[in-house]
Amino acid sequence: MMKNFQEEIGKFNLERGWNKDSRFIKDFLLNLCEEATEAWTVIKWIDEEKQKEVIKEHVDKFEDFVGDSLYLIFKIAWLLDIDSEQALKNTLEEYEKRFPADKMKEVKHGNPLAGGIDNK
Ligand SMILES: [Mg+2]
């Protein structure tokens, strides 16, 4: 399924004459940061309790963040010939090792294993 999105985004780009040129990777990475910043701007400096309310009021901006960020991630994967599905599987496997469910459940707030059992 992820591969389909990656291919669709590649097709979308080629149809517009945006060739498979990885020279602009740094710009797409900055775009990704920009998307996160847009979402952050909605809740910056707002205390935790109020954040829930504000996010509810502006859920469209977070939806936009998710969509735009996924677009950029699939585009970067397409440009670099990275199999996005395999990349996510690799990450999940790594997280499974670093954040074992039985150990993570034992830990409460102020989690000393927040960086994972390998403390990365
Ligand atoms: Mg956006």
3-state secondary structure of 30: helix
Residue 104 CA to residue 95 CA, distance in Å, equals 11
Q: Is the CATH number 1.10.287.1080 carried by domain 2-106? A: yes
Per domain, the residue ranges of the chain are: 2-106
Helices (H), the chain: 2-15, 25-43, 48-57, 59-79, 84-98, 101-106
Q: If you measure from the C-alpha of residue 116 to the centroid of ligand 1, how many angstroms do you get, rounded to a whole number? A: 31
* pLDDT at residue 113 tops 90: no
Q: If you measure from the C-alpha of residue 35 to the centroid of ligand 1, how many angstroms do you get, rounded to a whole number? A: 5
- Per-residue pLDDT band at 101 (split at 50, 70, 90): confident
Of 80, 64, 118, nearest to 96 by C-alpha is 118
- Per-residue pLDDT band at 107 (split at 50, 70, 90): low
- Per-residue pLDDT band at 108 (split at 50, 70, 90): low
* pLDDT at residue 116 tops 60: yes
How many beta carbons lie within 10 A of that of residue 103, not counting itself? 11
| pLDDT value at residue 35 | 97
